[in-house]
Amino acid sequence: MVHFELMTVFAYPHLCNPPPGIMFRVAVVVVLIALSSVTGCLGAQEEVCPEDGCFPLTSDLLNEILSDNDSFKVLDYANDYDRLSIETTSSSTVQGQFGEIHWGVSKDDSKQLRSISTRVTIGTYSYNNEVIDGGNVTNIRVGNVWFEGRDAKPEYVDPFVEFAILSSQGQTDDVPPFGFDTATISNLDWRITGDQDSGQQVATTSNSTHSIIIELRGNPPRIMAIETYSGEEEQFVLKVRTGDEVDLQINKGMSRAPLGFNPYNGPTEFGGISVWAGAVPENLVSEAIPQEIEIRGLSSNDENAITMASLRMDSRYSNVTASDGTWWEFEWEDRDLDDFVSAGDLYAVRTNSTGEPSIAAFDIWADSWTGGPLATL
């Protein structure tokens, strides 16, 4: 029979040899389900099928499918389906504390759109967002509220291919757990039912600790869902949708979301001069034209901060001196020379202003601060 054990894994409930030490971006550890090894079978008997095949499958034929390492390869699904969506939900309750990680990834190659959503729940804390992108207009969901974003340099990339590349490079922190070694649940005694009209088949089995459900569709049958349960304490659910079941849309006219670039931080002091310097983060995936973004020098902190000087990015350099001798100097370098505010670009701000000077970025297009002391006003 199959032996199940609990393993502490993080945002990568791969069901065979999960990599250790993977940290999810919200830095919260959730106990998820992993299948460890196959030690035998439940005594499935040999079954005979007619020449045109069996519907529903026999237990032996399903085990033959599951024992093939290529029976569930996400890249194969991505190559075969222009419209594809895969979702996983991994949850566990340990000492009364509930934890759950949900991933949803969808694509529509014909529309050049993709969606990536995440939801993390730890006890009463929940983090939930989604981004639909691929074109000049993007949609961003924070909790249940949608915003309109933009991308001045759109580039559609199949998200399943992108995640596969990141995983192969060892960048697994923000990669969904879509890998499932079906060989770990082969050689079991399955009970299988089917609907001839829809081509749907549902296979179930269990042992002393877990129940397993697999949904297959089509001819030849393909795995469309895998579920494992251990009472009400541990669950792992993976579901696949294709074709008309996947409907990605971009909406316009919503509140605008500012660019995800926030230079606000504490300054470094050099002989009475406050200096800020840094780069646009590498994870900025939506670019903006320089005319839409300003870096502003603020005179103080919190809700009473006042803008003293600013630099619009297309100006590249600015030096402003007030009548009292206070000056602000700004520099902006388009490091990759793409004429966009994009990942890797550099900024520097210097001032002799006293008190509590600070800086923040203002998105003119969104009419909103991207971060800093005024962002929540």
Three-state secondary structure of 309-364 = EEEEHHHCEEEEECCCCCEEEEEEECCCCCCCECCCCEEEEEECCCCCCEEEEEEC
Rg (Cα) of the chain, in Å, rounded? Answer: 26
Question: Do 308 and 216 have their domain in common?
Answer: no
Q: What is the pLDDT of residue 20?
A: 37
Give domain status of residue 237, yes or no.
Answer: yes
Question: 34 φ, ψ to 5°?
Answer: -140, 140
Question: 315 φ, ψ to 5°?
Answer: -85, -25
Q: Which domain holds residue 163?
A: 2-245
**Nearest residue to 258 via CA among 374, 115, 159:** 374
Give domain status of residue 89, yes or no.
Answer: yes
Q: What is the pLDDT of residue 52?
A: 59
**Domain count for the chain:** 2
Q: What is the DSSP letter of 46?
A: P
Q: What is the pLDDT of residue 85?
A: 98
Instruction: Specify the CATH number for the domain of residue 62.
Output: 2.50.20
Residue 121 structure tokens: 């729940």
List beta partners, residue 321: 327
Question: Do 208 and 293 have their domain in common?
Answer: no
Q: What is the pLDDT of residue 46?
A: 44
What is the Cα–Cα distance from 18 to 16, expressed in whole angstroms? Answer: 6
Question: Do 240 and 323 have their domain in common?
Answer: no
Q: What is the pLDDT of residue 13?
A: 35
Q: What is the pLDDT of residue 155?
A: 92
Give SS3 for 10.
coil
The CA-based angle 44-49-52, given to 5 degrees, is 145
Give domain status of residue 9, yes or no.
Answer: yes
Question: Do 121 and 228 have their domain in common?
Answer: yes
Give domain status of residue 257, yes or no.
Answer: no
Residue tagged 């509590």 (tokens): 356
Boundary residue ending a domain (245, 280, 311)? 245
Q: What is the pLDDT of residue 303?
A: 61
What is the Cα–Cα distance from 102 to 236, expressed in whole angstroms? Answer: 10
Question: Do 118 and 217 have their domain in common?
Answer: yes
What is the Cα–Cα distance from 159 to 84, expressed in whole angstroms? Answer: 10
Question: 297 φ, ψ to 5°?
Answer: -90, 130
Give domain status of residue 114, yes or no.
Answer: yes
Q: Under a CB-based contact definition with an 8 Å cutoff, are residues 118 and 128 in contact?
A: yes
Q: Under a CB-based contact definition with an 8 Å cutoff, are residues 318 and 310 in contact?
A: yes
What is the Cα–Cα distance from 180 to 146, expressed in whole angstroms? Answer: 32
Within the chain, what is the greatest distance between any pair of CA atoms? 94
What is the Cα–Cα distance from 328 to 319, expressed in whole angstroms? Answer: 6
Give domain status of residue 298, yes or no.
Answer: yes
What is the Cα–Cα distance from 223 to 216, expressed in whole angstroms? Answer: 4
Q: Which residues in the chain come in under a pLDDT of 70?
A: 1-53, 301-303, 373, 376-377
End-to-end alpha carbon distance in the chain: 59
**Nearest residue to 98 via CA among 106, 107, 89:** 89
Q: Under a CB-based contact definition with an 8 Å cutoff, are residues 86 and 77 in contact?
A: yes
Boundary residue ending a domain (213, 245, 277)? 245
Question: Do 319 and 274 have their domain in common?
Answer: yes
Give domain status of residue 258, yes or no.
Answer: no
Containing H/E element for 78? Answer: helix 74-80
Question: Do 169 and 225 have their domain in common?
Answer: yes
What pTM was computed for the model? Answer: 0.79
Boundary residue ending a domain (207, 230, 245)? 245
Give domain status of residue 115, yes or no.
Answer: yes
Question: Do 74 and 7 have their domain in common?
Answer: yes
Question: Do 204 and 283 have their domain in common?
Answer: no
